[in-house]
Chains A and B, each alone.
Chain A
């Protein structure tokens, strides 16, 4: 049986977890078994049912409200207990901030090999081999897991959300909360916007934008297509933009379906954070900018002229559609 950790936020199953569920279901089909999900904390029947629509045969729900706040130790303990009780052979989670905190603990607890950052279904023809992203997206490694239980932590946006017409049954479990003694003092979430790591479309600006006063050009384009905004490191260092928007080697690594880079030269450290994007568009006034080599589409031109026109063209397309 394949056990999928379905992370929830305010009672809603996260998008990355639906990807993990789809991945778990496909792996289960390949291995001739079923995929089941684990949900920790308060969630209503409708939220749990969603997992059935992505391939869960069963949802194991630990409804205790103590699990509403994330705690790596308690979550690890609950998952480890369920995995043992249910006889899971593969555990799937997603390589998000929560996954990065739980996956390694679970691996050490169960002595189960972990592949962190998987990008494709396992090859089960000869053992269990999973392809993962390495060298900041510049290459892949095929990792063989040699233990009875295997843990796969799937990169966000690497595997689609694949609807399945199934209905999951729900089993309720009571697992005591074994917390790690970390007291949460405050939580500060950026409200209203899609977190950058979850965004499917991203518009990003670099030093070519000249200053924070010009950022409305980036924001207008982002708003027209419904994208999140990002930036290069010097832009965050100069406080033109908040630090959490900085992507690259030292900032966030993202893999959206579309990344539009405006006035960014395309330094290798910047590319390290964005080269897993499915489609890359570069707008730069210098035809020799290195970013064009990594791009799918490009416009050689002045951002101050191109951006307003591009935003208008998008609005027209949307109005016509």
Chain B
């Protein structure tokens, strides 16, 4: 079983969010970029575990991004994976990104495509489902557990207010979240090895974006906290009832 893990580059969770050029561009100045946590902690690590258990033969990583994502894909390779593909396209349109991943997955005969639950910048939770549809494969969204046995996959996934356990056959697309694996810290050997692992850069297929971001906006600043004395919780209750009208 060959696995393709989708890796995206996102600003660090503590990055200051600011926009320039009249709110049309994310200000990258001073921002540290990381491997999107869901891709790294869950999708990638679970793929590696499946390979270590002899249930997968090959783990490749893919990112759809410009050359500035190379350090990120190397970071992911330091955790593990046999090789990586970067499709040279910078796009915030999920369909354009998904089309590139679907093409690479079909060309490389990958049996299983794993994505993270969502990117922490655009929060679409969209790429996996689109890739599944483009490949005409089953899609398990928001999976919390995944195992494989001779072409059969067993998965748990989040549903409204609980969990569902299911079974399916490869090929498939699965989006991964918490529960699937434990975070791994890359060791020195991994970091050194990552430098020489194959990273293939391919040019994108032409695709027409279905959507575009026209501008960004910051939420209005909070008015500031209204403090209530610890000796008078009744006053808080009054405020919540009469002013905020939430209880």
Residues of chain A touching chain B, judged by Cβ–Cβ distance below 8 Å, are: 9, 14, 70, 72-73, 76, 95-98, 100-109, 111-117, 129, 131-147, 180-190, 195, 197-198, 201, 225, 243, 246, 249-251, 257-258, 268-269, 272, 278-279, 281-282, 292-302, 305-306, 309-310, 312-314, 316-317
Known interface pairs A104-B94, A187-B162, A198-B161; A113-B140 also in contact (CB < 8 Å): no
Q: Which residue of A lies closest to B125 (CB)?
A: A100
Known interface pairs A258-B240, A272-B120; A107-B214 also in contact (CB < 8 Å): no
- Give a binary string over B83-104; 1 marks a CB under 8 Å from any A CB, 0 the rest: 0000000000111001000000
Q: Which residue of A lies closest to B158 (CB)?
A: A97
| List of A residues within 8 angstroms of B125 by Cβ | 95, 100, 104, 116-117
Contact B225 A135 (CB under 8 A): no
Q: Which residue of B lies closest to A225 (CB)?
A: B247
Q: Which residue of B lies closest to A183 (CB)?
A: B167
Contact B226 A76 (CB under 8 A): no
Contact A299 B95 (CB under 8 A): no
| List of B residues within 8 angstroms of A107 by Cβ | 94-95, 126, 129-130, 133, 210
Cα distance A76–B138 when bound, in Å? 12
Task: Give me 25 A-to-B residue pairs in the complex whose CB atoms sit less than 8 angstroms apart, sorted by A's number.
Answer: A96-B160, A101-B129, A105-B130, A107-B94, A114-B124, A116-B94, A132-B123, A133-B123, A135-B11, A135-B121, A138-B17, A140-B219, A142-B215, A142-B216, A142-B217, A144-B214, A181-B168, A184-B166, A188-B165, A190-B162, A268-B13, A279-B240, A297-B244, A299-B236, A306-B230
The interface residues of chain B, by DSSP majority, are classed as: mixed
Q: Which residue of A lies closest to B15 (CB)?
A: A135
Q: Which among B123, B210, B237 is the interface contact of A314 at CB below 8 angstroms?
A: B237
Contact A306 B212 (CB under 8 A): no
Return the 7 tightest CB-CB contacts between A and B, nearest first. A104-B129, A301-B230, A195-B161, A113-B210, A189-B162, A108-B133, A180-B138
Q: Which of B93, B158, B215, B233 has the most CB of A within 10 A?
A: B233
Residues of chain B touching chain A, judged by Cβ–Cβ distance below 8 Å, are: 11, 13-14, 17, 19, 37-38, 41, 93-95, 98, 120-130, 132-134, 137-142, 154, 157-169, 178-179, 209-219, 222-223, 225-230, 233-234, 236-241, 244, 246-247
Q: Which among B93, B227, B230, B241 is the interface contact of A302 at CB below 8 angstroms?
A: B230
Known interface pairs A183-B167, A195-B160; A249-B211 also in contact (CB < 8 Å): no
Contact B244 A279 (CB under 8 A): yes
Q: Which residue of A lies closest to B175 (CB)?
A: A100
